[in-house]
Structure 1
Amino acid sequence: MAPDEAVIGCTGELVVGTRGAGGPGEVLVRVRGGTETFIAYSDEPLTRGATVLVVESLGHRQVSVMAWSDPLLDPPLGPSPGDGGGAR
């Protein structure tokens, strides 16, 4: 089966955690107006419930993923870029 290019860049949630080099997990990906499950591989172990980004399609409903946090939903902690960072 050919790689599924439509899933690259999509986000999903791990329904079974990955074990890094120890083996894959399973991810529920938001794609094509719905959700689909794929076998998920990652370089490092990721826990069940983690939000991930699909970075590669391996074919046969298998993907490579990495941990992901939406910068619009999860802003970084610390001073805002426009606040100058100093006391007033």
Structure 2
Amino acid sequence: MVSDEAVIGCPGTLVIGTRGAAGPGEVLVRIRGGSETFLAWSEEPLPKGTPVLVIESRGTRQVDVMEWTDPVGDPGSDLPDGPR
């Protein structure tokens, strides 16, 4: 399995909620000049729309995430196309 280290540390938003140990959700992450989706695994179930931080790559477009609030408070973080 090849790890995608570029995604580690990136914030994202769950577009499909996670189910904890029962299964993954899906996260939208702004990376490499665009947006990409990854299967997202978390320790606890997280609902759709939860802001998360990618903490590990499982390889092949799968990541581990945790709920996260941007301490800087990026005013465009909740907009699909970034700040305007």
Using structure 1 for the length normalisation, give the TM-score: 0.80
Q: Which residue of structure 2 lines up, in the alignment, with residue 16 of structure 1?
A: 16
- C-alpha displacement of 1:71: 1.2
CA distance in 2, matches of 1:46, 1:30: 19
Query: What does 1:16-55 correspond to in 2, within 5 Å?
Result: 16-55=16-55
Stretches of structure 2 that go unaligned for 5 or more consecutive residues are 75-84
String of CA shifts for 1:26-46, please: whole Å, max 9, x gaps.
Answer: 000111111000000000010
Identical-pair percentage: 69
CA distance in 1, matches of 2:54, 2:71: 16
CA distance in 2, matches of 1:2, 1:24: 19
String of CA shifts for 1:24-76, please: whole Å, max 9, x gaps.
Answer: 000001111110000000000101000100000000100000000011229xx
CA distance in 1, matches of 2:47, 2:31: 21
Stretches of structure 1 that go unaligned for 5 or more consecutive residues are 75-88
Q: Which has the larger radius of gyration?
A: 1
Q: Which residue of structure 1 lines up, in the alignment, with residue 68 of structure 2?
A: 68
Equivalent position amino acid for 2:45 in 1 = P
Using structure 2 for the length normalisation, give the TM-score: 0.84
CA root-mean-square deviation:
1.2
Q: Secondary structure at 2:70's aligned position in 1?
A: coil
